[in-house]
Amino acid sequence: AQKVTQAQTEISVVEKEDVTLDCVYETRDTTYYLFWYKQPPSGELVFLIRRNSFDEQNEISGRYSWNFQKSTSSFNFTITASQVVDSAVYFCALSGSSNTGKLIFGQGTTLQVKP
Amino acid sequence: NAGVTQTPKFQVLKTGQSMTLQCAQDMNHEYMSWYRQDPGMGLRLIHYSVGAGITDQGEVPNGYNVSRSTTEDFPLRLLSAAPSQTSVYFCASSYRASGGAYEQYFGPGTRLTVT
């Protein structure tokens, strides 16, 4: 069975603080894909990143960075110097090698960035 | 391209009523799917389709029907609405990109309340 766990339900930080959102996954597939999505208060789902299981390189995009560790089945997301606009619900998701486009989502982490 | 469109954006139903949530995509994607989002539970797959005429159940299919007569459209039918179906519904379309992962495109969502 496949599963994604985001243990942090809610996180509150003050602007300019760094924050890390945790994601732990379970899968028996040897090839799989991991995703992060952002859901701002307006409600739409915004794609942030996709990572293949065979590529463990960490990635940085501006203030965002992702740490993928197969050894611990984790795909954590860090926001550096957080801003109020980062306030949103963040979802981690997983799809297997034969997923035909199906995503398994974590429960989501609500991030509140206070000015 | 309009991408993935969903109608209506909001809907209030009474218990026992039936209705159809519409979803259309103009990207010629083979795969389409329906998810529901409930607080604290992330998004869960209801039904999906790998092409016109082919549908299958996801994680939470009970109380919903789908059909896929064309590549573009994937309507979701609530047969007899129940309060437990109060949720936000997302439609998605996807295609298999280079590297094997599926690129998912989500619609804006339909917020359904069943009283």
Between chains, do B102 and A101 touch, taking CB under 8 Å as contact? yes
pLDDT digits (tens, 9 = 90+) for A58-110: 888 899 999 999 999 999 999 999 999 999 999 999 998 766 678 999 999 99
Asked if residue A57 has pLDDT above 90, the reply is no
Q: Can you read off the two tokens belonging to residue A33? A: 């894909």
**Shortest Cα distance from A106 to chain B (angstroms)?**
6
- Check if the beta carbon of residue A19 is closer than 8 Å to that of residue A84: no
Residues 11-70 of A with CB under 8 A from B: 31, 33, 35, 43-45, 47, 50, 52
A71 three-state secondary structure: helix
First to last CA, chain A: 41
In the 3-class helix/strand/coil scheme, how is A7-57 assigned residue by residue?
Answer: CCCEEEEECCCCEEECCEEECCCCCEEEEEEEECCCCCCEEEEEEECCCCC
Whole-angstrom Cα distance, residue B46 to residue A102? 10
